[in-house]
Amino acid sequence: MIYRMLADLVVILHLLFIIFALFGGLLVLWRGYMLLVHVPAALWVAVISFKGWICPLTPLENQLRQAAGSEGYPGGFVEYYLIPVIYPVGLRFDVQVFLGITAMGINIVIYAIVYYRYKLRQGRGKR
């Protein structure tokens, strides 16, 4: 039971990390120091996508599921709703690269907004 709960927790953390890597740049608008946390996360997701690597959270989750005596993802909210988002069926390398480019594009737009707002605030301060 504990291993299944830990595996579910890893899946949830994995999804939260993906969301943070995609949209965490918006937190920079709130707290500038988030730049120091978000940029490495976004770069990690890009490298994973472009190299076709597997995130270390995936083998950890699989080990926990095996320790729980499970091979797949039987029933439950986490397995039904979250796992297909993180582990789409038939994910090919070209699709993975496209997702990486999309992630970079999202972050470029977000950081352009962050830069624009920063410049806007600097301009107000000079008056």
pTM for the model stands at 0.74
Is 49 in contact with 96 (CB distance < 8 Å)?
Answer: yes
Phi/psi class of residue 76: alpha, beta or left (left: φ > 0; alpha: ψ in -120 to 50)?
A: left
Q: Return d(Cα 74, Cα 92) in angstroms, integer.
A: 24
Reported as a single tens digit per residue, the pLDDT across 53-65 is: 888 888 888 889 8
Q: What does the pLDDT read at residue 91?
A: 76
Low-confidence ranges of the chain (pLDDT < 50): 74-77
- The number of folded domains in the chain is 1
**Among candidates 44, 47, 38, which has minimal Cα distance to 20?**
38
Q: What does the pLDDT read at residue 78?
A: 55
Q: What does the pLDDT read at residue 127?
A: 59
- If one counts every other C-beta atom within 10 angstroms of the C-beta of residue 94, the result is 9
Q: Return d(Cα 42, Cα 110) in angstroms, integer.
A: 12
- Dihedral over alpha carbons 34, 36, 40, 42 (to 10 degrees): 30
Amino acid at 7: A
| C-alpha distances in Å from residue 21, one per residue of 6, 26, 67, 85, 104 | 22, 10, 29, 15, 9
Q: What does the pLDDT read at residue 77?
A: 46
Residue 92 belongs to what domain range? 2-125
